[in-house]
């Protein structure tokens, strides 16, 4: 990255310093080779190399008593963290410069009364007046509660500040003592030079009280110079007379300049969502979506426009004729956006943004933006981010065909040459896209099935886009799998029964958004006739699969038909008229074996001597109003009339048996044992209006288990459960037989 000469001058001592006095080898808090012991023995001008690692301080803050440079491996890998209620670094030296390079300073907590800075500077407190030179570093997650005026959740310093390629984020100060408080990120208490370049100040908070207090991101006592800086999402809370500044509060009237700065989404409870306090020049900058009760962008008199500024949505920053007001700059969220130094920016999303090609030409002399991307001299963009072309991908949650649409939006003054992309880190692929002119150039790439990482960027005549886009892409071209397994022997069911099936659906790639799976999924048997159960599975890519399961629902009809099922053993049936004669023969002629449930006409014969049959009949003309019972040990004919007054009464007329052996009771050989020998029988377990009819009596069910046996001496009804109403034909009388009892309707003499 090209830097101003002033910046290079500050870096020279770091690059050309004498060999390091020592290299830290011990990540513990103290002992030989530790950072603490090494600092104690350091001399002015030493560079202390701090290898990658996390250095947890457990016995208090580190004291920097000499003008040294702490040089880490990288901010993301070298972390110095306070593990207790104390700050990380206390800088007491009066030497000219202290350097913080490639480090993260985190977790510091400064409290009132501490010996170093009385609660100021949670991460770093610089009280000796040295220049604090911060390069490629992160100051994050520190807090301060000052016991006197001041603040500085991340940094408090009474010396000059020079900062490059660094991030000050998520620090906080609770500064409510006296006035002139604040600086959630940085509190500068000096009088010389405060210079921030190519850096990010974000997510810091200052809670203040007293006059002239504020600065959620920065509090400055004197001249403040920012160039290519993003100030985003900082907050000043609490009331302060003459204070405010969600992003920055400057107390002194000393001149300064905000050049190519993006202020986004900062808030103040008082005034100046972005900037408040003493006057500072504002050049080629963006103020977007900042909020405050007074001056959502800038507090009264806090800035003087030098042109090239864009403010949205209001006009509170003394905007002049060379500025733009009320036009949305169309910024993206805070992100790295390809910055090699890891600082965060708000990208300009389109070349149609009012911030593109809108500088104050005489002052547009920077060679690069905050990320190091080259600017167009004389026609640079407002803010910290230079629009360098953008390639956007329309990536769905799941692509059903692998085609990913992209659009290439070239920077002003450039033309589209083509698209470059790679899949899963593989080789670079180039694609000629043509050029749609000023409109975004549409194109697409096709990816294989699976989970892929797509990297993409456009190529322009004035250079290649440096901020590559990355998208995780899911491509699923295959339908889900779906199966239905019948839990029953047959796919024929009786109305109102509750059969179930097992449904199993799966999609191993994108997953199911509609999953009908279930171990016992009920089927609809509410209506008679052929029907189909057709569950549908749908995956994230909207591919579907169905597994039709056809089945038939049987239902009785009042006086017309019945439904018969085999429960156990062997059951045989004979439809009426299928053989001559009304009586079922013991030899079984004309009977057919029953395998699956069947609808049979009334007057059909059932042979359940070797099995159990379930009979279902209608109570009314409503086919869903049914009754059923289980019958065994006999042969019977099913009878039912259509008359409504019978309320569905179903008669089972007992059939079969040889009564020729029944001699006259007074005849020779008519012993009692022979008279009691069963000739035919029928066992019933039924609910509803069922009646079994023998030779000498009829038994009407009342939710019972009973057996009717025809013998030579009469018809015997034996009740096991419930009650049975027995109609004795000879006596013309109805007898109620309860459980455990029997009744014999005697044959005529």
DSSP string of 571-611, one letter each residue? EEEE-TTSSSSSSPPTT-TT-EE--S-EEEETT-EEEEEEE
How many C-beta neighbours within 10 Å does residue 582 have? 11
Average confidence (pLDDT) over 168-185: 95
- Is the omega angle on the peptide bond into residue 313 within 30 degrees of 0, that is, cis? yes
In the structure, what pLDDT confidence band is assigned to residue 293 with cuts at 50, 70 and 90?
very high
Buried-state track 248-287, b at ≥16 Cβ within 10 A, e below 16:
bbbbbebebbbbbbbbbbbbbbbbbbbbbbbbbbbbbbbb
pLDDT at 578: 47
Q: How far is CA 706 from the centre of its chain?
A: 62
Q: Note the residue count of the chain.
A: 749
Q: How far is CA 692 from the centre of its chain?
A: 64
Give the dihedral of Cα atoms 383, 385, 388, 390; nearest 10 deg. -110
What are the CA-CA distances from residue 475 to residues 317, 349, 437, 454, 514 (Å)? Answer: 49, 26, 31, 12, 18
153/160 Cα distance (integer angstroms): 17
565/554 Cα distance (integer angstroms): 11
pLDDT at 586: 40
Pairing of strands 89-91, 124-126: parallel
614/624 Cα distance (integer angstroms): 17
In the structure, what pLDDT confidence band is assigned to residue 4 with cuts at 50, 70 and 90?
very low
Average confidence (pLDDT) over 507-519: 96
In the block, which residue shows the tokens 């700050």?
87
Name the nearest CA neighbour of 647 among 604, 691, 698. Answer: 691
pLDDT at 328: 96
Q: What is the mean pLDDT of the chain?
A: 90
636/692 Cα distance (integer angstroms): 9
In the structure, what pLDDT confidence band is assigned to residue 5 with cuts at 50, 70 and 90?
very low
pLDDT at 321: 83
Average confidence (pLDDT) over 20-31: 83
pLDDT tens digits, 675-728: 888 999 999 999 889 999 999 999 998 678 999 999 999 999 999 999 999 999
pLDDT tens digits, 625-665: 999 999 999 999 999 999 988 999 999 999 998 888 786 55
pLDDT at 464: 67
How much of the chain, in percent, has pLDDT values that exceed 90? 78
Average confidence (pLDDT) over 253-259: 90
Residue 668 pLDDT > 60, yes or no? no
Give the dihedral of Cα atoms 589, 590, 594, 596; nearest 10 deg. 160
Q: Tell me the Cα Rg of the chain.
A: 47
526 near 624, Cβ under 8 Å?
yes
81/107 Cα distance (integer angstroms): 5
Residue 214 pLDDT > 90, yes or no? yes
Average confidence (pLDDT) over 258-285: 96
Q: Which of 43-57, 150-164, 244-258, 364-378 has the lowest mean pLDDT?
A: 364-378
What are the CA-CA distances from residue 431 to residues 367, 466, 665, 727 (Å)? Answer: 30, 17, 110, 96
Residue 340 pLDDT > 90, yes or no? no
pTM: 0.69
How many C-beta neighbours within 10 Å does residue 643 have? 11
pLDDT at 413: 77
145 near 173, Cβ under 8 Å?
yes
61/47 Cα distance (integer angstroms): 19
Pairing of strands 345-348, 331-335: antiparallel
Average confidence (pLDDT) over 506-518: 96
Cα torsion 308, 310, 314, 317: sign: negative
pLDDT at 704: 84
pLDDT at 625: 93
């Amino acid at each position: 990255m090209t830097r101003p000469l002033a910046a290079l001058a500050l870096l020279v001592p770091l690059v050309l310093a004498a060999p390091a006095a020592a290299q830290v080898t011990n990540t513990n808090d103290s002992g030989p080779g530790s950072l603490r012991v090494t600092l104690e023995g350091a001399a002015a001008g030493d560079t202390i190399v701090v290898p990658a690692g996390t250095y947890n301080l457990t016995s208090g803050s580190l004291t920097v008593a000499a003008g040294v440079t702490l040089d880490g491996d990288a901010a993301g890998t070298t972390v110095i963290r306070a593990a207790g209620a104390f700050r990380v670094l206390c800088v007491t030296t009066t030497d000219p410069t202290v350097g913080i390079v490639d480090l993260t300073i985190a977790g510091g907590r400064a409290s009132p009364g501490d010996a170093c800075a009385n609660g100021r500077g949670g991460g770093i407190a610089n009280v000796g007046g040295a220049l604090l030179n911060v390069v490629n570093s992160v100051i994050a997650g520190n807090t301060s509660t000052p016991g006197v005026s001041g603040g500085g959740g991340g940094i408090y310093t009474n010396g000059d500040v020079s900062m490059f390629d660094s991030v000050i984020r998520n620090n906080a100060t609770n500064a409510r003592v006296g006035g002139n408080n604040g600086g959630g990120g940085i509190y500068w208490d000096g009088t010389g030079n405060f210079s921030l370049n190519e850096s990010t100040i974000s997510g810091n908070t200052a809670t203040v009280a007293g006059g002239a207090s504020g600065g959620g991101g920065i509090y400055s006592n004197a001249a403040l110079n920012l160039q290519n800086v993003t100030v985003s999402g900082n907050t000043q809370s609490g009331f302060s007379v003459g204070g405010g500044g969600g992003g920055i509060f400057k107390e002194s009237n000393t001149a300064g300049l905000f050049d190519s700065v993006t202020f986004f989404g900062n808030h103040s409870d008082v005034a100046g969502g972005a900037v408040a306090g003493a006057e500072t020049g504002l050049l080629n900058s963006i103020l977007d979506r900042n909020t405050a009760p007074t001056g959502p962008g800038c507090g009264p008199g806090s800035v003087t426009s030098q042109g090239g500024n864009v403010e949205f949505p209001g006009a509170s920053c003394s905007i002049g004729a060379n500025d733009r007001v009320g036009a949305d700059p169309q910024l993206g969220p805070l992100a790295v956006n390809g910055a090699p130094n890891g600082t965060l920016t708000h990208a300009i999303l389109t070349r149609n943004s009012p911030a593109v090609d809108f500088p104050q030409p005489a002052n547009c002399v920077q060679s690069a933006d905050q990320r190091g991307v080259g600017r167009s001299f004389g026609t640079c963009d407002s803010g910290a981010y230079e629009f360098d072309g953008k390639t956007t991908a329309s990536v769905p949650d799941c692509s059903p065909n692998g085609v990913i649409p992209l659009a290439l939006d070239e920077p002003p003054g450039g033309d589209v040459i083509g698209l470059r992309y790679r899949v899963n880190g593989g080789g670079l692929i180039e694609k000629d896209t043509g050029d749609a002119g000023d409109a975004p150039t549409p194109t697409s790439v096709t990816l294989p099935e699976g989970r892929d990482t797509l990297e993409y960027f456009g190529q322009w005549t004035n250079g290649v886009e440096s901020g590559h886009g990355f998208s995780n892409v899911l491509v699923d071209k295959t339908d889900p799998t779906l199966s239905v397994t019948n839990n029953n022997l047959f796919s024929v069911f009786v109305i109102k029964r509750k059969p179930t099936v097992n449904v199993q659906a799966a999609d191993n790639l994108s997953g199911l958004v509609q999953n009908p799976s279930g171990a016992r999924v009920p089927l609809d048997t509410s209506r008679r006739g052929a029907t189909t159960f057709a569950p549908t599975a749908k995956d994230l890519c909207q591919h579907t699969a169905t597994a039709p399961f056809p089945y038939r629902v049987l239902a009785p009809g009042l006086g017309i038909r019945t439904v018969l099922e085999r429960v156990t053993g062997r059951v045989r049936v004979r439809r009426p008229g299928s053989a001559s004669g009304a009586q079922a023969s013991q030899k079984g002629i004309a009977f057919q074996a029953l395998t699956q449930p069947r609808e049979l006409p009334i007057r059909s014969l059932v042979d359940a001597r070797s099995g159990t049959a379930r009979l279902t009949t209608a109570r009314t003309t409503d086919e869903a109003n049914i009754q059923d019972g289980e019958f065994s040990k006999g042969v019977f004919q099913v009878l039912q009339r259509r008359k409504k007054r019978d309320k569905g009464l179903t008669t089972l007329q007992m059939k079969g048996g040889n009564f020729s052996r029944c001699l006259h009771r007074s005849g020779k050989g008519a012993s009692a044992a022979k008279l009691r020998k069963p000739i035919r029988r029928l066992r019933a377990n039924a609910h509803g209006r069922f009646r079994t009819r023998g030779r000498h009596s009829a038994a009407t069910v009342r939710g019972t288990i009973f057996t009717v046996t025809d013998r030579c001496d009469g018809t015997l009804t034996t009740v096991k459960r419930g009650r049975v109403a027995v109609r004795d034909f000879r006596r013309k009388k109805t007898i109620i037989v309860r459980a455990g009892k029997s009744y014999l309707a005697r044959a005529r003499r």
